[in-house]
Amino acid sequence: MLANVFKPKAWSSLLSLSTHAFQLSTLHPAMHTLASLLQGIDLADATVAGDPSVLLSQPVNFDMVAEGLGAEGLAWVKPGNEDRLPAGQPVAALVCTPESRAKIADPARIRAWVLTPSPRRVFAQLVQQGFAPQRPARIEPTAQIHPSAQIGAGCYIGHYVVIEEGCMIGERVQVLHHTVLMAGTEVGADTTIGSHCTIGAPGFGYERDADGRPMAVPQVGRVRIGQRCHIHSNTCIDRAALGFTQLHDDVAVDNLVHIAHGAVIGPRTFVIANAMVAGSARIGADGWVAPSVNILNGITLGDRLMTGMGATVVKSAGDDQTLVGAPAEPIEQFKAWLRARKRLTEGRQD
């Protein structure tokens, strides 16, 4: 029996439930000094110039600066984009490299600078420190949670989430609206799971019976997700036939990804939108699975392996390789093939 029984509610009631569950900081802005934000991050590779007491009300992009919203704003500039910062508009604080600072037109309009070789990372840390939306620790009343499920302290469980029997959810996990965690799923601390995900459904495994009809192979394994993982919306992660489908710590999975039964994703690996990792495939640590990549079942990919967009990976590969194309091959071979094709189309021979 589920802990919360579904009862249809009027839209007005649902909206009233949502208003106190999640409040965007941009709707309720808070002012911070740059100095107060800097206290919460690692400044080992950063220096501050100008007035650190400047007040900041929100992070801003170039369009917002052009609209005059940069006077109390925190912005950042990617190297090479210095000329895109709108001229003549003030900015309260700017995060950039020391080289970029020298290229900014009219630098006097910038009241404070955070100079670092990694401006995007430092900007993200500052935004997280002062402006990122925060969800309360609560279980929304429309969530359905089996009595045997274990939910750690500080979790947010969204509207119409279903958590089945035997699930184990670590501390400070966020599971957003309409996601389903099926029986026995394990989720490590500080992991975030987006909306409309299905995690722990039976994998797609079939044989044919004596009459040639599809016969489902029982999928009796589970899904194990590590700590500090990020799983975005509309993603499916299937339970293993035996054992575990596993995401190690600090894995980031984009929207619309399918991870099949028995797959293993190594720590700190990124899996980007529309990718498909087939059954029992193993991906090492610190990898990059690009958008729309397909990885064949049962193969093993090494650490720090990169794939090009749309690659179809059909055989195992070792550490530190970059695979591109369909079927995928090491980028050096792919480039050699492109050169050979160019010679052929131009009618030349070596």
Q: Which residues are catalytic?
A: 261
Q: What is the rounded CA–CA span in Å between residue 341 and residue 267?
A: 38
Other Cβ atoms less than 10 A from the Cβ of 349: the count is 6
CA 319 to chain CA mean position, Å: 23
311 contacts 323 by C-beta, under 8 angstroms: yes
174 contacts 156 by C-beta, under 8 angstroms: yes
Which H or E run contains 180? strand 180-181
Q: What is the rounded CA–CA span in Å between residue 153 and residue 178?
A: 21
DSSP line for 266-299? -TT-EE-TT-EE-TT-EE-TT-EE-TT-EE-TT-
The SS3 of residue 35 is helix
The SS3 of residue 139 is strand
Which H or E run contains 91? strand 91-96
* 122, 123, 125, 127 alpha-carbon torsion, rounded to 10°: 170
132 contacts 29 by C-beta, under 8 angstroms: no
- The tokens for 266 are 């190594």
Taken as a whole, the chain contains a residue count of 350
231 contacts 258 by C-beta, under 8 angstroms: no
Q: What is the rounded CA–CA span in Å between residue 22 and residue 55?
A: 25
174 contacts 192 by C-beta, under 8 angstroms: yes
Q: What is the rounded CA–CA span in Å between residue 293 and residue 272?
A: 8
